[in-house]
């Protein structure tokens, strides 16, 4: 295995699975967005048969949720072992998923393939403006006209930015000594203006939400983004 930052994720997921600590449930926020009345037009959407791409699906916990909604599930991760593990997880539940090796900027699917694209806490791993722009363009490429993105990405008050070094232009080098991502450079949107700056050229009706949780000892902060491909 190479000394690539992605390898840390592969190792982390493997350790969590071996210890029985991998994520068992889908993101609560995603459940609310797909099942609730928070996004105009979503409540009336028949999700059965719709195609959804889960970029950076992790261990497949959100894919199980999508499959139970009757959606056709696809996803990308950075290593074949993660794809096999997620496939097996769904198969054990009598479900199916098309999981392939890919990244934000290299999604191994045809143009106009999906009704929904979910990128949950994945986009900020791009390390510069050029890569962010390329990733957003790639998201738009694989969506069908009228398809919708749902994105969660770290906000400026998130605990991961404690002790981070600002490199300018939304770039931060992670400094937390207790985090396996220490030393990696991440890209964070400082406020909603910049989200519109990067997303509006590719999507219409872009909306920005936010989840900010103060859980006693830590603060968790995420921007939520949705929009529709023209």
DSSP string for 104-160: TTB--S-TT-EEEEEEES-GGG--SHHHHHHHHHHHHHHEEEEEEEEEEEE-TT-GG
Assess whether pLDDT exceeds 70 at residue 16.
no
- Give the per-residue pLDDT at 40: 87
pLDDT above 70 coverage of the chain, percent = 90
Q: pLDDT: is 123 or 22 the higher one?
A: 123
The per-residue pLDDT for range 114-132, each reduced to its tens digit, is 999 999 999 999 999 999 9
Assess whether pLDDT exceeds 90 at residue 20.
no
Q: pLDDT-derived band of residue 1, with 50, 70 and 90 as boundaries?
A: very low
pTM (predicted TM-score):
0.92
Average pLDDT on 12-37 reads 79
């Amino acid at each position: 295995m190479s000394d690539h930052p992605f390898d840390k994720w592969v190792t982390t997921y493997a350790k969590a699975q071996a210890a029985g600590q991998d994520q068992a449930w889908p993101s609560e926020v995603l459940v609310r967005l797909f099942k609730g009345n928070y996004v105009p037009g979503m409540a009336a959407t028949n999700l059965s048969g719709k195609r959804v791409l889960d970029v950076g699906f992790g261990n497949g916990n959100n894919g199980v949720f999508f499959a139970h909604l009757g959606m056709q599930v696809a996803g990308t991760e950075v290593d074949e072992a993660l794809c096999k593990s997620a496939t097996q997880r769904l198969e054990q539940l009598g479900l199916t998923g098309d999981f392939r090796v890919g990244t934000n900027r290299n999604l191994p699917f045809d143009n106009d393939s999906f009704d929904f694209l979910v990128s949950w806490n994945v986009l900020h791993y791009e390390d510069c403006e050029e890569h962010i722009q390329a990733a957003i363009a790639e998201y738009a490429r694989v969506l069908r006209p009228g398809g919708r993105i749902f994105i969660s990405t770290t906000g400026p008050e998130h605990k991961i930015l404690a002790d981070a070094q600002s490199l300018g232009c939304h770039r931060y080098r992670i400094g937390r000594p207790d985090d396996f991502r220490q030393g990696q450079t991440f890209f964070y949107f400082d406020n909603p203006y910049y989200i519109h700056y990067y997303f509006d050229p590719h999507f219409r009706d872009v909306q920005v939400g936010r989840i900010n949780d103060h859980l006693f000892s830590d603060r968790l902060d995420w921007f939520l983004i949705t929009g529709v491909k023209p």
